[in-house]
């Protein structure tokens, strides 16, 4: 038997190293924004990708361990973890703004305490929280009488109301879904949020509606609710994204997201 010859074709691999290249400012040419997101949160990244979708704005996040059940004790426990979580966002790279994405924990721990922990990781950054941003929004929009909507249980609601009123605002309407499981709060649908916000916001003694909790989805319906009640509306994520941009010097107007983004 004659065995057929096997043809072997050799291919020469080309190896090129030290290829010349240029660099630019990267995805964060205008602003590098870092956000610490709760481990249980399902909403912040989703809404921030809409609200910060601007040329040259980089959004970077890390997660912080938290308890799925929201109580004053579980919220307070996060303070000790803040610095480590901030250190996970682009280690060694400066950020323009660092935000802690928990409204109720920011009130329970205290804004200045939160900032002190974040400063240990990013000493040159500017800082915000949902409630810090919300109060900046209240002031920009001239709102003193507020309707507040939350998903929290009663003891957390009482702390939220006291925190806001201790800073000179009046809570003239308050509503809650009373859901202490953060996973379920994230699934409260926009129809429910819209209906509750309109119900609270249409009162004559309300200047503005604030939806408190990073789990609640408002960004896509804020302008629609404003049209219904003729007043500004914001939320934890909505206000915090706006505040991050303005702290970083990014002043682009985005009217699709309501009065706060359109006019301030």
Summarised one tens digit per residue, pLDDT across range 24-70 is 999 999 999 999 999 999 999 999 999 999 999 999 999 999 998 88
The band of 11, judged by pLDDT with boundaries at 50, 70 and 90, is confident
Q: Per-residue pLDDT averaged across 17-28, rounded?
A: 95
The band of 9, judged by pLDDT with boundaries at 50, 70 and 90, is low
- Is the pLDDT reported for residue 3 higher than 90? no
Helices marked H in the chain: 44-51, 72-76, 82-87, 103-109, 111-119, 130-140, 154-166, 182-185, 190-201, 222-229, 236-247, 259-263
Is 132-236 in the same CATH topology as 28-129+240-263?
A: yes
- Is the pLDDT reported for residue 4 higher than 60? no
Class of domain 132-236: alpha beta
Q: How far apart are CA 187 and CA 256, in angstroms?
A: 23
The band of 5, judged by pLDDT with boundaries at 50, 70 and 90, is low
Q: Where do the domains of the chain lie? A: 28-129+240-263, 132-236
| Residue found by looking up tokens 């916000």 in the block | 197
pLDDT digits (tens, 9 = 90+) for 123-138: 999 999 999 999 999 9
Joined tokens for residue 149: 């909507």
**Fold of the 28-129+240-263 domain:** Rossmann fold (3.40.50)
Q: What's the pTM value of the predicted model, to 2 decimals?
A: 0.93
- Is the pLDDT reported for residue 10 higher than 90? no
């Amino acid at each position: 038997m004659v065995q057929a010859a096997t043809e072997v074709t050799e291919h020469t691999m080309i190896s090129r190293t030290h290829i010349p290249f240029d660099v630019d400012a990267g995805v964060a040419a205008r602003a590098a924004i870092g956000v610490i997101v709760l481990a249980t949160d399902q909403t912040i990244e989703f809404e921030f990708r809409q609200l910060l979708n601007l040329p040259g704005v980089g959004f970077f996040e890390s997660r912080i361990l938290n308890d799925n059940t929201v109580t004053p004790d579980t919220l307070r426990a996060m303070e000790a973890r803040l610095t480590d979580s901030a250190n996970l966002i682009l280690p060694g790279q400066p950020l323009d703004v660092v935000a802690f994405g928990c409204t109720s924990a920011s009130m329970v721990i205290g804004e200045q305490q939160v900032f002190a922990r974040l400063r240990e990781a990013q000493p040159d950054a500017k800082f915000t929280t949902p409630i810090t941003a919300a109060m900046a929004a209240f002031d920009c929009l001239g709102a003193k009488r507020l309707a507040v909507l939350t998903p929290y249980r009663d003891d957390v609601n009482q702390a939220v109301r006291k925190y806001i009123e201790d800073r000179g605002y009046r809570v003239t309407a308050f509503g809650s879904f009373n859901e202490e499981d953060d996973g379920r709060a994230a699934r409260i649908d926009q129809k429910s949020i819209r209906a509750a916000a309109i119900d609270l916001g249409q009162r004559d003694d309300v200047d503005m509606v604030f939806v408190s909790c990073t789990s609640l989805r408002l960004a896509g319906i804020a302008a629609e609710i404003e049209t219904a009640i003729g007043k500004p509306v914001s939320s934890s994520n909505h206000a915090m994204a706006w505040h991050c941009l303005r702290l970083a010097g990014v002043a682009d107007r985005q009217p699709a997201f309501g009065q706060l983004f359109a006019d301030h």
